[in-house]
Amino acid sequence: MNNLPLSGRNTSQRSILSQNPDLQALALFFGLLVAILTIWELGVKFQIFSPVMPSASKTIVDFWGWISDPFFDNGPNDKGIGWHLLASLQRVLTGFGLGSLIAIPLGVLIGLSKVASKAVDPFIQLLRPVSPLAWLPLGLGILKSSEGTALFVIAISSIWPTLIATKFGVSNVNSVYLDVARTVGASRWRTIRKVILPAAAPNIVAGLRISIGISWLVIVAAEMIVGGTGLGSFVWSEWNNLNVTSIITAIVVIGLVGIVLDRLLGILQAWVSFGGRS
């Protein structure tokens, strides 16, 4: 039985909290969350915000309604948010996969040749800053398909971080590894497969990690324009119906899924980093 007086227990608990950064961060997180929700609730109550803005309490109730039954289906224009999430994830993973299949081999080829790297770099620098939305009309004109256009925009937007990171990783492989491979008589292909790719893997996955974030960012804007089922279409439809609580629900879901995707790539990045951490 714990015979410590109450004051001693409180002191001990404060000491544990002060020595644990994770607990401090968690406490600060919940403190900030409560403060944000309180300011939000009071702002609506005292009409500081626009009349369109719902209260925090109403938004939480609506949020729970969406996530407690995410897969209802009452027709094409009345689906649960889970169906929209699955549609968006399918598009993102497909477009991201296509972009990666282009970016990684191309990045390896460019990284192996200084001449090719210098020749291709102007094209990369020209196309990399282009907004994903600028590709939408071009995609619609070429593919004449809203679904194909969404995949095209995701793929082309996700190419650049992976391409640049792969090129950098391959071109900066430790020369000692390459010398050893040449000494043992390894072929060019075997050197790439057994030496260059494993050594460049942390950079490649770092590029993939950035690309998946861009892909997830792009899908919402793309779906708003091309329509169909998806989180972007859901947000646009709910805005047309002035259901702001549903829009906030979608924003939270988008953010949470983005965190999960990033952490999954972070785990992969740690795994290929020879003992490094994400």
What angle do helix axes 231-240 and 244-271 make, rounded to 10 degrees? 160
Sequence-distant (6+) residues with CB within 8 A of 248 are 54, 59, 63
Sequence-distant (6+) residues with CB within 8 A of 234 are 81, 84, 246, 250
For residue 254, give the nearest of 238, 234, 272 by alpha carbon.
Answer: 234
Residue 183 confidence (pLDDT): 83
What is the per-residue pLDDT across 10-48, written as a single tens digit (0 to 9) for each?
A: 565 566 667 788 888 888 999 999 999 999 999 999 989
Q: Rg (Cα) of the chain, in Å, rounded?
A: 25
In the chain, where the domains are located: 6-53, 81-271
Under 8 Å between Cβ of 71 and 60: no
Q: Is 74 left (phi over 0), alpha (psi -120 to 50) or beta?
A: alpha
277, pLDDT greater than 70: no
What is the per-residue pLDDT across 207-266, written as a single tens digit (0 to 9) for each?
A: 999 999 999 999 888 888 777 789 999 999 999 888 999 999 999 999 999 999 999 999
Burial of 5-21, coded b for 16+ CB within 10 Å and e otherwise, reads: eeeeeeeeeeeeeeeee
CA dihedral 108, 111, 114, 118 (to 10 degrees): 90
Phi and psi at 74, nearest 5°, equal -110, 25
Domain 81-271 in this protein, CATH class: mainly alpha
Residue 11 confidence (pLDDT): 62
CA distance 198 to 196: 6
What is the per-residue pLDDT across 145-162, written as a single tens digit (0 to 9) for each?
A: 888 999 999 999 999 999
Q: CA-based angle 232:237:239, to the nearest 5?
A: 95
8, pLDDT greater than 60: no
91, pLDDT greater than 90: yes
CA distance 140 to 236: 19
Residue 165 confidence (pLDDT): 96
CA distance 20 to 201: 34
CA distance 91 to 84: 11
pLDDT tier for residue 1 given thresholds of 50, 70 and 90: very low
What is the per-residue pLDDT across 95-123, written as a single tens digit (0 to 9) for each?
A: 999 999 999 999 999 999 889 999 999 99
82, pLDDT greater than 90: yes
Residue 145 confidence (pLDDT): 86
pLDDT tier for residue 267 given thresholds of 50, 70 and 90: very high
CA distance 266 to 59: 32
pTM score, whole prediction: 0.85
